[in-house]
Structure 1
Amino acid sequence: MASLAEPAFPGDDGSVDPALAQALAAYDSDRSLAPVLVALGTARVIVPVVAVRGEAAVGSDKEADMATVMMTGADGRRALLAFSGLESLQQWQADARPVPVWAREAARAALAEGATALLLDLAGPVRAIVETDDLQHLANGDELVAVGPSWAWTGSA
């Protein structure tokens, strides 16, 4: 008898990771992204997947495909959407399919799709953007650590 792979997040109820919730609350008041980046290093996020109209063959019904959501800024830069928890995803779009992934995997997916950012919690309560070098470090699995009064990325093992 074949066995199925274990789910990556057994028992996940869609709640925000407590460390990420605390970091986002702090970011809301002091705008320091570093604690958010630290929390994202080990956090699960939810990437929305939505139905998009597919191509229809002549004489057939319309098809629907499923896709992750990319946002394009006024300057042309693209960002992959991700949410800290199910509640913030549903505030953005209630019918989006939640796909739980490690934040580092979401960062890798963003880069693979040509995005320059990961946009976390578009609908709030606190929106954060991980971009440029931080996005690459997160995708690499690097760790952000405090070094005196500032922060530095360490390479992954």
Structure 2
Amino acid sequence: MRTLGQPNAAFAGDRGDPDPALRAMLARAYDGDLAYSRAVAALCTARLLLPIVAEGDESGESPDPDRRAEMAAVLVRSDTGAIAVPVFTGLDALTAWKADARPVPCTLDDVAATAVETGSTAVLVDLPGPHPVVIERELIDELARGRRLVELADGGFGWLFRESAPQ
């Protein structure tokens, strides 16, 4: 499981409110191929909330000073056994899904890297709604490499990435 570091300073003061423009884009995500790509491109620049929970020995009525708890990203498993990483565009959707999860502000490339590390086949955006979107493994692999999907001037889409410095 990925170790979660300090929250990104870019999200300081963020209260977890959803971005209405992003949610509107997600509402139209399945209205055609371009709409889905636009939704994923919008997610590439959005603040997302990754749910984490404490794992450890919760037994006993009094606190155990030797107890070790670790924070871990929440994963979901389908009836077929496929694993996915849930992520949310707002605190409202996260708490509607799992009220005891703690939100960690992150970017889509962080979530994609978590999906790759955990062997997940999908990222589930806003699982309980209002407009769930599924990102499949082929896109996850590109996103995990730090790439962003962008809409080009000609109406097509491409990957934006920082080229590595020569060695």
Report the TM-score when normalising by structure 1: 0.79
Q: Which of residues 58, 66, 71 is equivalent to 2:76?
A: 71
RMSD of the TM alignment (CA)?
A: 2.8
Query: What displacement does 1:69 show?
Result: 0.9
Give the 3-state SS of the residue equivalent to 2:9 in structure 1: coil
2:121 and 2:41 map into 1 onto residues whose CA distance is 19
> Is contact 1:119-1:130 (8 Å) kept?
yes
Separation in 2 of the partners of 1:146 and 1:46? Answer: 24
Compute the TM-score of the two structures, normalised by the length of structure 2: 0.75
Aligned equivalents of 2:96 and 2:137: distance in 1? 27
Matched-pair identity in %: 38
- Deviation sequence 1:49-77 (CA, Å, 0-9, x none): 12334387xxx957644321111122222
Report the alpha carbon displacement of residue 102 of structure 1 after superposing the two structures with TM.
1.0
23, 32, 52: which is aligned to 1:49? 52
- The yes-or-no answer on 1:9 pairing with 2:2 is no
1:146–1:155 Cα change, 3 Å:
closer
Aligned pairs, number: 149
Gapped regions of structure 1 (runs ≥ 5): none
2:113 to 103, 108, 116: 108
Tell me how far apart the structure 1 counterparts of residues 98 and 112 of structure 2 sit (CA, whole Å). 21
Q: Which runs of 4+ in 1 moved over 6 A?
A: none
Cα distance in 1 for residues equivalent to 2:145 and 2:41: 13
Please name the residue that 1:141 is paired with: 146
**Distance of aligned partners of 1:13 and 1:5 in 2 relative to their CA distance in 1, 3 Å threshold:** closer
